[in-house]
Chain A
C-alpha cells in the first residue's frame, strides 16, 4: 500500500513500519545524523517507541463516540423498561377486568329480572366512556380470555367438542372417557349432515354397538340421543378396562385367568391363605353400560367355601365395589393372599 499522507489509522500495528519510513523520509537529516554510524539499536528503539505510541492510541477510549455509545444503550434499556412496564400494567388491567366479568356472570345466575341486568350494563357503559380510549379493546381482550376458558372447561368436563367441517357439510364429534379421575382414550365420530345425518367415519371399537345405538336413536332431531348412550357404553368399557389394568398392577398375587376385549368377562384366581386353596372367581358384566358386575360366581375344590359367610360377603362386595378396590378389602380381611 502506497500512501502520500501520513497513515492516520493507528489500528493496524503493521503500519507502524510505514509510519517510521514516512517519518524517516521527512526528517532525513535528523535521522541520518542519528542513523549515521548509529547502531541498529537506535533505529530499533525509535521503532519500538512508535509502536508503543500506536498501541496506546488504540487503547485510549474514544471519548466522544464512547459517550454516544453509552447514551444509545441507556436509551434502549429505558425503552425496554417502559415497554415491560406497559405490558405488566396491561396484564393487571386485563386480570381485573376478567375478574369483574366472571363475578358478573356468576351473579347473572341469581338475578331473574332482566331489568336489573340492563341497568348494570348501562352503568358499565357510562364507566367505559369515562375510561381510557383503550378500554373497548381491553374489554374485548378480557372477553376473549373468558371465552377460551369456558371452551376449555366444556372440553375438560367431557363435552362432545362438536366441530363443523367441510363448510357446514360435516360434523366432527369427540367422545372423552375417564375413570376415577384419570382421562383415558378419546374416540371420534365423523358425520355427514346432508342429505341426512349419518356417520361416515369412526374409531369406535367394533364390540361397541355403534350401529344399533344409531338406529335406536333420534339423532337427526337430537344428536344427544345417540351421543349420550354411546358415551355411556364407551366410559363403562374404559372403566372396566382400567379396573383390569389396576388389578394386574396392584394385585400380583391374583392371577387373571381370562378376560375379553370388551372387558365384560373376568376370571380371577385367588389363593386362600393358610390352606393355600385356589378359588376361581368369575365376574360377568352383562350390562355393558356399567362398570360393576351383574354376576359374581366362586368355584373352589372346597365346596363349602362359596357358601361361607365370609365369601358371601365377598360376593356382595364384588358386586358393589370396583374389583381392584374390592381386592384390597379382601386382602385386609385375610380372605385372600
Chain B
C-alpha cells in the first residue's frame, strides 16, 4: 500500500517539479521585461499612480475603484493647475514633451527629449539629449545634440540666431530670446492694430483712413497714405532684430516714397528730411507717440 502511494507521488512530484521549473523561467523573463519598462522614467510609477496600476492589474478589490479614481483625479487636477501656472509665468505654452531613455544606470541617466509648443504666435519644436551624471551630492546636467525647428519663413533675422544656438547648445538662451522676441513682436502688433483702429475711427469723423497694414497686423510694415495724395506714401518699418548672441533690438524707421515732382515743389527739408526727423521724434516721444504724430501729419488733421 505504502509502495503504491510512493509510485503515484513520485510521478506527481516529477511533473510538478518540471512545471515549477518552466514557471520560474517564465517569471524570470517577465521580470526582465518589467525591469526594462521601469527604466523608462515616464512610466516609473509611485504613490497614487502605483495604487491605480495595482487596481488595474487586479491586485485590489473592486470596491477600491472609487477611492483610487478619486485620489488620482485629485492629483491630476493639481498637476493641471500647476501646468497652467507654469505656462502663464514662463510665457511659453508647451503642448507635448516626449522622452526616450537612452541610458539608465546608477550614476548616469541619458534621455532624448522632444518638446513642442508655442510662444504667442511662434511655433517651435525642440529636440535634444539630456544627460544627468551624479557627482557626489550634486548632479551635473548637460545638453547635447540640440535641434530647433521653427517656421522661419518670415523670421529672417531669427535664423542666424537659431543656427548659432544649435551649435552652442544654449537651450535656455533659445527660450529666453524666443520669449523676448515674441514680446517685442507683440508690442509692434498691438501698436499697429491700435493705429489701424484709431485711424479708422478718425475716418468716421472727418478724415479718410490713412493707415493700412498691407502685410497684416503681424508684419513689419505700416503704410501711411492720404488718398488725396496718391503718389505719396510713408512707410513705418518696425523690425525686431535678433543678434547671434540673442540680443533682441526693435528698430523703427520712417521711409518715404515721394514722387520727384512733389519733392521739387517742396524744396525744404521737411519732406526729404522726414526719416531723420522721425528718429528724433522716436528718441523724444517713444514709438507710439512718434508714430501717432506722423499719422496726424499725414491725415492733414486740423486737430493738432
CB within 8 A of A162: which of B57, B68, B86, B126?
A: B86
Tell me whether A156 and B130 are in contact in the complex, defined as CB-CB below 8 angstroms, given that A71-B16, A181-B143 are known contacts. Answer: yes
- Min CB–CB distance B215 → chain A (angstroms): 20
**How far is the CB of A280 from the nearest CB of chain B, in Å?**
26
The one of A77, A145, A162 that contacts B85, using a Cβ cutoff of 8 Å? A162
Quick check: which of B173-181, B194-202, B230-238, B259-267 contacts chain A, the rest being far away?
B173-181
B58 adjacent to A86 (CB under 8 Å): yes
Instruction: Flag if A137 contacts B97 (CB, 8 Å).
Output: no
Q: Which parts of B45-92 form the interface with A (CB within 8 Å)?
A: 49, 52-53, 55-59, 65, 68-69, 72-73, 75-76, 79-80, 82-83, 85-87, 89-92
Residues of A within 8 A of B126 (CB): 157
Instruction: Say whether A160 faces chain B, with CB atoms less than 8 Å apart.
Output: yes
**A318 in contact (CB, < 8 A):** no
Report the minimum CB–CB distance from B58 to chain A (whole Å): 6
Is B170 part of the contact surface with A, judged by Cβ < 8 Å?
yes
Partner among A61, A74, A181 whose Cβ is within 8 Å of the Cβ of B170: A181
- The answer to whether B56 touches A137, judged by C-beta atoms less than 8 angstroms apart, is yes
In this complex, which of B53, B56, B140 has the most chain A Cβ atoms within 10 angstroms of its Cβ? B56
**What separation, in Å, do the CA atoms of A141 and B141 have in the docked complex?**
28
Main secondary structure on B side of the interface with A = helix
Give every chain B residue within 8 A of A108 (Cβ-Cβ): 95
**9-residue interface stretch from A23-31, A40-48, A172-180, A198-206:** A172-180
Interface size on A, residues (CB 8 A): 72
| Cβ B16 vs Cβ A149 within 8 A | no
Contacts A152-B97, A290-B245; A138 near B37 (Cβ below 8 A): no
CA distance A84 to B52 in the complex (A): 15
Inter-chain CA distance A182–B133, complex, in Å, is 12
B83-116, CB under 8 A of A: which get 1 and which 0?
Answer: 1011101111011111100000000000001011
Instruction: Flag A156-176 by CB within 8 Å of B: 1 or 0 each.
Output: 111111101000000000001
CA distance A312 to B75 in the complex (A): 62
Interface residue A255 (Cβ < 8 Å from any Cβ of B): no
B120 within 8 A of A: no
* Least Cβ–Cβ distance between B109 and chain A, in angstroms: 12
For residue B24, CB closer than 8 A to chain A, the reply is yes
Given A157-B92, A290-B247, are A151 and B76 neighbors across the interface (CB < 8 Å)?
Answer: no
Which residue of the partner chain, among B33, B58, B79, B115, contacts A148 with CB atoms under 8 Å? B79
Question: Judging by beta carbons under 8 Å apart, are B56 and A138 in contact?
Answer: yes
A158 and B176 within 8 A (CB): yes
**Residue on B with the closest CB to A64?**
B9
* Docked CA distance A108–B117 (Å): 10
In the complex, chain A residues whose CB is within 8 Å of the CB of B55: 137
A149 touching B99, Cβ below 8 Å: yes
| A145: B residues at CB distance < 8 A | 42-43, 49
* Number of interchain pairs (Cβ within 8 Å): 207
A77 to B26 Cα, complex, angstroms? 9
| Interface set, chain B 1-16, CB cutoff 8 A to A | 5-6, 9-10, 12-13, 16
Please give me the residue from chain A that is nearest to B126 by CB atom.
Answer: A157
User: Cβ of A150 < 8 Å from any Cβ of B?
Assistant: yes
A177, B92: Cα distance in complex, Å = 18
Whether B85 lies near A84 (C-beta < 8 A) is no
* B281 surroundings in chain A (CB, below 8 A): none
Which residues of chain A come closer than 8 Å to B30, judged between CB atoms? Answer: 81, 84-85, 88
How far apart sit A140 and B142, CA to CA, in the bound complex (Å)?
A: 32
B146 interface residue per 8 A CB criterion:
yes
- How long is the Cα–Cα vector from A98 to B90 in the complex, in angstroms? 25
Bound complex: CA of A86 vs CA of B175, how far in Å? Answer: 42
Q: Which residue of the partner chain, among A67, A157, A181, A291, contacts B13 with CB atoms under 8 Å? A: A67
B-chain residues with CB within 8 Å of residue A152 when the two chains form the complex: 97, 99
Give the distance in Å from the alpha carbon of A148 to the alpha carbon of B45 in the complex.
11
- Ordered by A's residue number, 5 sampled pairs between the chains whose C-beta atoms are within 8 Å are A144-B75, A181-B143, A182-B143, A224-B91, A235-B173
7 further A-B contacts with Cβ under 8 Å, apart from A154-B90, A235-B176, A290-B245, are A61-B9, A81-B23, A88-B37, A91-B43, A141-B49, A144-B79, A154-B87
Rank and list the top 10 A-B pairs by shortest CB-CB distance, nearest first: A181-B169, A63-B9, A158-B172, A70-B16, A153-B97, A77-B23, A84-B30, A86-B57, A147-B79, A183-B141
